[in-house]
A and B are shown apart, each in its own frame.
Chain A
Amino acid sequence: MEIKSTDRDDFRRIYDGNYHLLMQVVMHIVYNIEIAEDLTQEAFERFYVKNMTFPGEDDARYWLIRVAKNLALNHVRRNKREIELVEKVRHTPSASVETRDAAQAAVEADEKRAVRAAIESLPENLRMVIQLKEFSGLDYKSIAKVLGISETNVKVRVYRARKKLEEALSTEDRDVY
């Protein structure tokens, strides 16, 4: 079904179906909820302003992810210095923290930090693929469309990213214990 970005109903449907996904993609790049919200909003604004017609919802989704991802990556590049300054506070506490005991929460926070650090240490081409795969739950075909690469390439990158993450996380374990 054709999607017109300036049609109010189409816009709303695309927004509802993709807001969470875009937030997730952007959040895993910028690690800041306010900035992620700003960038996601901008992505949807561009979607409207572009006044485009997409052949289907999937195409609109790929376009939006691509735009949001690029906005986020640009933001990170532009603000590298400031981001490094707030490095320590960027990890937002999970909402369930209060209901568990502090020790458990601390362990979980450590684990999250380790995984995020490992993902961040990946080269960008591997990082984007594994994030879209693991967090956004996109299939290889969608990832290929978003990133403009072949499905085979996606398959290879997912595998390489997993391998690297495994190495990074296992060496970290050794450091910890």
Chain B
Amino acid sequence: MCIDSQMLSAYLDGELPEPYRTQVEEHLEHCAACRKHLEDMKALDERILSADFPEELLDRNKERILALLDKKCFQSGKKVSFIRRRLEISLPSLITAAAAVVFIFIGGFMFFGTSSEQTEDILPSFALQADSSNVRYVSNTASLESFTLEEILQYLDSKGYNVDISIKGLQPLESDPAAVDHE
């Protein structure tokens, strides 16, 4: 049985691993057809190679371009630092992300609004509006009315005041000492 063409192609490229390589070589020794096949492949390779470009053409500007690149990359001080590269990559996406967050935030208010009826169902404590109907004076400071006259007097007395109280239109009964003296 003759050698598979694909195997022969790999053999020609020196890419056929053992033990196949030895087997192919042994076969080639006594099989003219396969030898011919291999020769044809080699000839084709040579033909293909003849279409290659001459080295002096391809390399004609090698030094000039190197000098150019050297100037552009290494002499202009345009050193691309690790951090700068990373920043350059991430900055636009960072801005986009920030814009998206702001947009969603504002959009949320725009679409779902702050309508108190809706909010009341979900979060009653947030829905109360601060108007006169539901704001009450809840100061702890007691007024004067909540104390009896005695308590007030007692308090003032404790503070060292001497309070003289009289009721309008009533004259206190006077024992007239002078009159007694006169008698």
Contacts and interface: CB of A to CB of B under 8 A. Distances in A.
A135 B47 CA distance: 11
Interface of A: 6, 8, 11-12, 15-16, 19-20, 23-24, 27-28, 33, 36-37, 40-41, 44-45, 48-49, 51, 92, 94-96, 108, 111-112, 115-116, 119, 130, 133-135, 139-140, 155-156, 158-159, 162-163, 165-166, 169
B79 A115 contact: no
B66 A24 contact: no
21 contacts: A11-B69, A11-B74, A15-B66, A19-B59, A19-B62, A24-B53, A44-B65, A45-B72, A48-B69, A48-B80, A95-B54, A111-B47, A111-B51, A115-B48, A115-B51, A119-B51, A139-B13, A162-B44, A163-B5, A169-B44, A169-B47
A129 to B, nearest CB: 11
B39 interface: no
B32 interface: no
Contacts of B61: 37
Interface of B: 5-6, 9-10, 13-15, 40-41, 44-45, 47-62, 65-66, 68-70, 72-74, 79-80, 82, 85
Contacts, number: 111
Given A41-B69, A139-B15, A6 B59 contact: no
B80 A130 contact: no
